[in-house]
Chain A
Amino acid sequence: MRVLVVEDDPVLLDGLKVGLGLAGATCDVVSTCGDAEAALATGDFDAVVLDRMLPDGSGLDVLKRVRASGNRTPILLLTALDETSDRIAGLDAGADDYIGKPFDLEELAARIRAIARRGQGRAAGALEWRDLTLDPATMSAARGGEALALSRREFAVLAALIERRGAIASRAEIEDRLYGWQEEIESNAVEVHVHHLRAKLGRDAIETVRGLGYRMGGPR
């Protein structure tokens, strides 16, 4: 899950990046309205955490402009203003959820997973494929009721492919899920993770579509 975090306080920004990373998300972080809009215009995110008061303007204005441009990325507003009228204004401006500072990191992660899930058109928390179940909240996988050991990156690749429901995910798109901007991408990382996943799930679990990318195998 790739999340854009827009927050100007350096400590909180760092906390969100590390904390949401621990919860299985890959975070890109920016500190200003301008950077946030630029990131949203070019990147593909599963969810956005948007601070309401930013040094160069209001997060609410960013929200309105982003929604006006037709962007439907789920957005969670983060704010120190927690009066009801502020919450209503935020939700009516196009926010999917709203959380006041200070918040609980786990609750924030759960809310992000919830809005991301709804953004993908799913209601259930778990991802399912054949007899495999992935739980993004605990980053655990089970096959036929038995726990399956997956690394954080393997889990992310598998989740990205299952979310697509048979559509092809390009290597670049999977890399986007795995790495934030600031991270160095290892050149053959995706191939390595797919290789490991095939070893654990069987050769037909992930199909390679030559020149385009990968997709999950059809139902058996």
Chain B
Amino acid sequence: MSSLRVRLFATLIAATGALWLIAAAWIYVGARQEVEHVLDTRLQEAARMVASLVASGDLPAQSKPDAGTPVIPGLGGYERQLSCQIWSLDDRLVARSSGAPDEKLSDSGAGFSERVVNGEPWRVYAVEDGAKGIRVLVGDRLGLREKLVGDLIKGLLWPAALILPLLGLVIWASVGRSLEPLSRIARELGRRDAEDMKPVDAGAAPSEIRPLTAALNGLFDKVERARRHEREVTAFAAHELRTPLAGLKTQAQIAVAAKDPAIRDRALGQILSAVGRTSRLVSQLLALARLDAEAPETAGSSIALEEAVLEALELSRAAGAAEVTISDGVRRACVRAPREPLLMLLRNLQENALEHTPPDGRAAWRLSADGAALELHDEGPGAPEAELPRLTQRFFRGSAKVATGEGAGLGLAIAAAAAERCGATLSFGNREDRSGFVARIAFAPGAITLASPAAG
């Protein structure tokens, strides 16, 4: 059942009905016992009363045997329920109450007994009076008892049958009312367009729905933040792409308009350099888009670090002429990571180091002291402490890059995104022994494994 309303309604009606039935059964059992007890007591009392009346001699105990059985005038108002017979001990019917059957109600001795008389079950109490030679039998029909209890239960069930539909209406309406906030939220959300990320108004919602609205609003907030971030990146990308395009167009117009061959040649040179920089920018943007689109956790294989570093170095060699060294620790180490992101990470860090290190300087790959992180130390100027946290922001250019106008501020952003795909965290610092920049890739515990020196 998918409708909450129907489900709640059915449950409540079933529960109410069951409750009523159980109550009726309980009352039936209880009432039956009580009725039996009371009526038995009444039988006893009536029998003793008749016996004592007979004993006091008011009744013609020895009356004419064949003049027909005298009829005892009605015993109170119970003549329809209670029947009384007085038998002599030699089995003659001495007297009976009106409505009592002629047949002997009981053959057993004193006390309670049950038997079928004229096809009806009777319950009988017998008192024997040895001195007078009589036996008093007082009985009632069991059917009457059942009817009494049955009437009681009917009295209980009839109103229930009448009230239950009424109750159903009330339950149906009140469940509907209780679910109204949900429908209100659903209507509100249904009316929205894709741009509307305003939080859902939880004001009037009952506390049960608050977790839902809170979760919804949390989700809206997350989506909105992601979209804002995307918009910012798109705006930056637009700026970063349109600016070189504007430069290209301007230079091309100069080349077309210039009459002086020197000016034209210079403009063409500028166009060439701008095309080179723009294509690098485009490939960086594509790399970032690819990293963004990839699943966050890609299963990796075990890769020899030295091989990966050498491959990255080959790809980034154009960035600078500085010497690159690889420590013994790195040569012996393997890392478990997805291959493409790892290469992208190493390559972008390597490019960054080569761009900043003077041609006669040195960039060194080594393992951290605990062997869990790969580090790249360069001999460039390092970065101002204030800029360190912002280095991985997209399109953020450090002050050194701003001065030269080089780079788009994407290299380290790509490295950070690639590190995330490798399950590693990227951090930066400045060298303490000399000027220089340190990039540190902390892999997940156990990702780096070391071969024994003998094997390496």
A residues in contact (CB < 8 Å) with B = 8-16, 18-19, 22, 31-32, 51, 53, 55-56, 78-81, 100-106
A-B pairs with beta carbons under 8 Å apart, 6 shown = A11-B277, A13-B405, A14-B270, A53-B239, A101-B243, A104-B253
Which of B142-150, B159-167, B244-252, B290-298 contacts its partner?
A: B244-252
**A14-B270, A22-B254, A81-B239 in contact; A101/B245 too (CB < 8 A)?**
yes
* Bound Cα distance from A104 to B257, whole angstroms: 12
Instruction: Flag if B245 contacts A31 (CB, 8 Å).
Output: no
Please give, as numbers and ranges, the residues of chain A lying within 8 Å of B245 by CB-CB distance: 101-102
Q: Is the interface of A mostly helix, strand, loop or mixed?
A: mixed
* Bound Cα distance from A78 to B248, whole angstroms: 15
Please give, as numbers and ranges, the residues of chain B lying within 8 Å of A14 by CB-CB distance: 247, 251, 270
Interface hits, B234-285 → A, CB 8 Å? 235-236, 238-251, 253-254, 257-258, 263, 266-267, 270-271, 273-274, 277
* Bound Cα distance from A8 to B401, whole angstroms: 11
Instruction: Flag if A105 contacts B402 (CB, 8 Å).
Output: no
Please give, as numbers and ranges, the residues of chain B lying within 8 Å of A103 by CB-CB distance: 246, 249-250
Residue of B nearest to A23 (CB): B257
Instruction: Flag if B254 contacts A9 (CB, 8 Å).
Output: no
Please give, as numbers and ranges, the residues of chain B lying within 8 Å of A10 by CB-CB distance: 405
Instruction: Flag if A80 contacts B244 (CB, 8 Å).
Output: no
Q: In the complex, how many residue pairs between chain A and chain B have their CB atoms under 8 Å apart?
A: 93
Per the CB 8 Å criterion, the residue count for chain B at the interface is 32
Q: How far is the CB of B81 from chain A (nearest CB, A)?
A: 97
Instruction: Flag if B243 contacts A80 (CB, 8 Å).
Output: yes
* Bound Cα distance from A100 to B242, whole angstroms: 9
* Bound Cα distance from A158 to B2, whole angstroms: 87
Instruction: Flag if A12 contacts B244 (CB, 8 Å).
Output: yes
- A102 touches which of B249, B273, B277 (Cβ 8 Å): B249
Instruction: Flag if A81 contacts B238 (CB, 8 Å).
Output: yes
- A15 touches which of B235, B250, B397, B402 (Cβ 8 Å): B250
Please give, as numbers and ranges, the residues of chain B lying within 8 Å of A13 by CB-CB distance: 247, 405
Interface hits, B199-246 → A, CB 8 Å? 235-236, 238-246
Q: How far is the CB of A109 from chain B (nearest CB, A)?
A: 10
**A18-B266, A31-B402 in contact; A9/B244 too (CB < 8 A)?**
yes
Q: How far is the CB of B383 from chain A (nearest CB, A)?
A: 14
Q: How far is the CB of A86 from chain B (nearest CB, A)?
A: 9
Q: How far is the CB of B267 from chain A (nearest CB, A)?
A: 7
Please give, as numbers and ranges, the residues of chain A lying within 8 Å of B248 by CB-CB distance: 11, 102
Instruction: Flag if B251 contacts A11 (CB, 8 Å).
Output: yes
